[in-house]
């Protein structure tokens, strides 16, 4: 019994009353529990409110309310509202036809500056961008099936369904065909001749590939380089190479070929002979293919210098052994770096060991070691094993002051060849007119060293001069375009070429070579002048395709009569100056470093139309095959040991498409409806359909 506050004893409670009290307490505790979290993701966009009319779901963006009773109402209505809510940030307004604003980065592939742009969800555009990324960044197709990439796409754009690797492979091949059609259209509209470079390569699959690269100057006087084909060939024989080049040219519809640059392999001589016969059969060659064969300057320089370095003196070997000794141990290299700091040598060059079979690596090794000479001398005093080890290894010891003087002279000599190789290996600028100046400097340098008192340098120069004259000593074997292009440079012209030739050649050879250059230049001008009417007709066809009004039959007859009159006037007036003479007699342009030869001809081709056409064709000729050889580096990355199952057709699509997408864009050209229809037909009939998909997509990598 208990006692209450007033002292009156409490009455004992019955058992029934006790159970009722405990049930009421449980109800109160249940009411205080937290409400269970909603399972549907739609509640991330709505708030629940308990109103007199029942439970209501309020949209967080626009405030719209819907009934949401747990038993009577589902979430379908809520999802439907989110898909059309105008204020939901990830919806594109359809009624107002407005797009979302976003910031465009200046680093995007499309170029331009940063600023505001519009954004609209488009699954097709995203797939195109995805294929662009796979091609340009050389990613495997299975990259799109990675967990990390799919998670990234889910975060950045949840509405995009990431395609499978098979679908991505189809998109990449479709991109290749689309870009190929665009390039064909550009080449078809171009009025100039094209030049080619080609080389062969054996992949990790032991498949022989040939890369064919086209070089041309467009109608706006811009130089372009594009890979046309990266295709398998049956062998490295000359006839097979020639037949494959012919097949590629026919596929692209290219017949007006000015020059083909190849290396010095004997099989390439056979291939060029085959192509010369074919081009002459097409009746599109220049002077019956007289300038068709251009030997790669970089390969000739490599042969010349490598032959001379066979007589390399002991000084180079001592420096090489000293560099090898220091690079063999991280501790030695660290100590050497401390010597560089102690000597306060301000250079970013580090020690590099050469490959004796590559002369340019020998030059780079000597060039770096010469700047670090003081550090070598300091190191010899701090490390007692340095001198002892070099003496025990070959008995020649460490390099002394005489050795450093010898390698310094050799490095200065090799620098001329290194700069020559560097300048002629460019493919994004005109290089043929630069080669002649480098050739003259190298020839004069060798001529001086042949009569030098230094026995070692004299012997090396003699061997190099012998190899040099094998390719550039006989006037009959030289491709005269290397001289004609300098004549077409308004800073130098014919007098400069004549004077330079007399400086580097014997009087008899120089006289014959100057005569050959004059004869070839006049013959080239005459052929272009005679064919000018054909070029006018070709430009008329091109202008009609560009949307310009073609000449009527009456006006065509008038133009033909005018051209006949001009020809008659030139033949009648024997003393009248022809266009070429006017160009040659005009004052030369100022020779400055910023001089742009293409811009000069762009603004002066109206004054010298025939010479301008010659210049546009000749200036596009490359003097090295580096443009084609660089594609093999891409091929080696595409066909690595993890992706060796790619078919040749897919490899060609990836290599070519990457080159086209990375290159600078062409001026905007409106495609005619016929071209678009042909493209759609190709896409329907290509391997992305059914029949050839197995061949194209053997790519389960």
Evaluate the CA torsion angle 140, 141, 147, 152 in order and state its sign.
Answer: positive
For residues 554-577, give the mean pLDDT: 57
* Helix (H), strand (E) at residue 515: helix 507-530
pLDDT band at 3 (very low <50, low <70, confident <90, very high): very low
Rg of the chain (C-alpha set): 38
pLDDT(592) > 90: no
Half-sphere exposure of 59 (CA within 13 A, CB side): 19
- Provide the 3-class DSSP secondary structure of residue 174: helix
Which residues, 6 or more positions from 162, have their beta carbon under 8 angstroms from its beta carbon?
144, 145, 149, 150, 153
pLDDT band at 676 (very low <50, low <70, confident <90, very high): very low
Which residues, 6 or more positions from 26, have their beta carbon under 8 angstroms from its beta carbon?
none
Query: Could you report the per-residue pLDDT of 401-429, keeping only the tens digit for each?
Result: 888 888 888 888 888 888 888 877 776 77
Q: For all residues of the chain together, what is the average pLDDT?
A: 78
* CB contact burial 321-341 (16+ within 10 A = b; e otherwise): bbbebbeeeeebeebbeebbe
Given this model, what pLDDT does residue 351 score? 85
The CA-atom distances, in angstroms, between 262 and each of 236, 292, 424, 623 are 13, 10, 14, 9
Given this model, what pLDDT does residue 17 score? 53
Query: Could you report the per-residue pLDDT of 359-413, keeping only the tens digit for each?
Result: 888 888 888 888 888 888 888 888 888 887 877 665 567 888 888 888 888 888 8
Query: Could you report the per-residue pLDDT of 437-481, keeping only the tens digit for each?
Result: 888 888 888 888 888 777 878 888 888 888 888 888 777 888 899
Domain with CATH 3.30.420.10 in the chain: 171-296+625-696
Phi and psi at residue 60, to the nearest 5°: -75, -15
Whether the model clears a pTM of 0.75, i.e. scores above it, the answer is no
**Helix boundaries (H) for 293-431:** 297-308, 314-327, 330-342, 359-371, 373-382, 384-394, 401-424
How far apart are the C-alpha atoms of 204 and 357, rounded to whole Å?
23
* Helix (H), strand (E) at residue 231: strand 223-232
Q: CATH topology for 171-296+625-696?
A: Nucleotidyltransferase; domain 5 (3.30.420)
> Residue 698 is encoded by which pair of tokens?
């053997």
> Residue 610 is encoded by which pair of tokens?
């025939």
* CB contact burial 655-688 (16+ within 10 A = b; e otherwise): bbbbbbbeeeebeeeeeeeebeeebeeeeeebbb
Angle at 418 between CA 213 and CA 298, to 5 degrees: 30
- Provide the 3-class DSSP secondary structure of residue 222: coil
For residues 83-91, give the mean pLDDT: 78
């Amino acid at each position: 019994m208990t006692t209450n506050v007033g002292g009156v004893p409490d009455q004992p409670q019955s058992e029934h009353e006790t159970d009722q009290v405990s049930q009421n307490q449980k109800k109160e505790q249940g009411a205080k529990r937290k409400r269970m979290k909603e399972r549907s993701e739609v509640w991330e966009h709505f708030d629940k409110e308990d109103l007199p009319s029942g439970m209501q779901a309020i949209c967080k963006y626009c405030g719209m309310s819907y009934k949401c009773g747990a038993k009577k109402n589902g979430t379908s209505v809520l999802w439907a509202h989110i898909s059309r809510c105008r204020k939901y940030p990830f919806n594109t307004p359809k009624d107002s036809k407005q797009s979302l604003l976003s910031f465009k980065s200046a680093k995007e592939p499309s170029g331009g500056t940063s600023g505001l742009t519009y954004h609209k969800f488009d699954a097709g555009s995203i797939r195109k961008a995805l294929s662009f990324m796979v091609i340009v960044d050389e990613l495997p197709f299975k990259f799109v099936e990675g967990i990390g990439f799919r998670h990234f796409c889910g975060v950045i754009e949840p509405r995009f369904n990431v395609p499978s690797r098979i679908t991505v492979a189809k998109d990449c091949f479709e991109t290749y065909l689309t870009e190929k059609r665009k390039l064909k259209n550009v080449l078809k509209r171009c009025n100039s001749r094209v030049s080619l470079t080609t080389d062969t390569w054996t992949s990790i699959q032991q498949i022989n590939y040939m890369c064919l690269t086209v070089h041309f100057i467009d109608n706006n006087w811009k130089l372009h380089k594009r890979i046309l084909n990266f295709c398998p060939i049956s062998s490295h024989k000359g006839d097979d190479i020639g037949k494959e080049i012919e097949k590629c040219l026919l596929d692209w519809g290219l017949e007006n070929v000015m020059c083909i640059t190849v290396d010095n392999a004997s099989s390439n001589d056979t291939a060029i002979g085959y192509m010369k016969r074919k081009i002459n059969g097409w009746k599109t060659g220049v002077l019956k293919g007289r300038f068709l064969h251009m030997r790669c300057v970089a390969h000739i320089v490599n042969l010349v210098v490598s032959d001379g370095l066979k007589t390399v003196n002991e000084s180079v070997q001592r420096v090489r052994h000293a560099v090898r000794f220091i690079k063999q141990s991280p501790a030695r290299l660290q100590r050497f770096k401390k010597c560089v700091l102690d000597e306060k040598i301000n250079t970013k060059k580090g020690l590099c060991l050469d490959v004796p079979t590559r002369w340019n690596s020998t030059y780079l090794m000597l060039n770096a070691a010469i700047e670090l000479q003081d550090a070598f001398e300091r190191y010899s005093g701090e490390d007692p094993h340095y001198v002892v080890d070099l003496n025990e290894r070959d008995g020649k010891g460490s390099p002394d002051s005489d050795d450093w003087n010898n390698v310094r002279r050799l490095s200065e000599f090799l620098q001329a060849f290194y700069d020559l190789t560097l300048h002629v290996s460019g493919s994004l600028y005109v290089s043929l007119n630069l080669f002649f100046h480098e050739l003259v400097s190298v020839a004069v340098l060798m001529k001086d060293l042949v009569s030098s008192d230094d026995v070692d340098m004299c012997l090396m120069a003699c061997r190099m001069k012998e190899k040099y004259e094998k390719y550039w000593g006989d006037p009959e074997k030289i491709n005269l375009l290397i001289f004609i292009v300098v004549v077409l440079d308004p800073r130098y012209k014919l007098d400069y070429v004549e004077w330079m030739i007399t400086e580097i050649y014997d009087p008899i050879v120089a006289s014959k070579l100057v005569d050959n250059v004059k004869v070839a230049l006049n013959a080239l001008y005459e052929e272009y002048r005679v064919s000018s009417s054909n070029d006018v007709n070709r430009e008329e066809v091109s202008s009609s395709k560009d949307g310009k009004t073609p000449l009527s039959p009456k006006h065509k007859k008038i133009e033909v009569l005018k051209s006949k009159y001009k020809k008659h006037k030139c033949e009648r007036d024997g003393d009248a100056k022809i266009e070429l003479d006017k160009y040659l007699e005009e004052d030369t342009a100022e020779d400055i470093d910023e001089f742009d030869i293409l811009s000069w001809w762009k603004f002066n081709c109206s004054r010298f139309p025939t010479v301008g056409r010659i210049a546009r064709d000749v200036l596009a000729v490359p003097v090295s095959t580096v443009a084609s050889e660089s594609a093999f580096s891409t091929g080696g990355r595409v066909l690595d040991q993890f992706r060796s199952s790619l078919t040749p057709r897919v490899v060609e699509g990836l290599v070519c498409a990457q080159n086209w997408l990375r290159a600078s864009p062409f001026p905007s050209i409106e495609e005619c409806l016929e071209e678009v229809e042909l493209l759609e037909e190709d896409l329907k009939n290509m391997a992305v359909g059914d029949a050839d998909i197995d061949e194209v997509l053997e790519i389960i990598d």
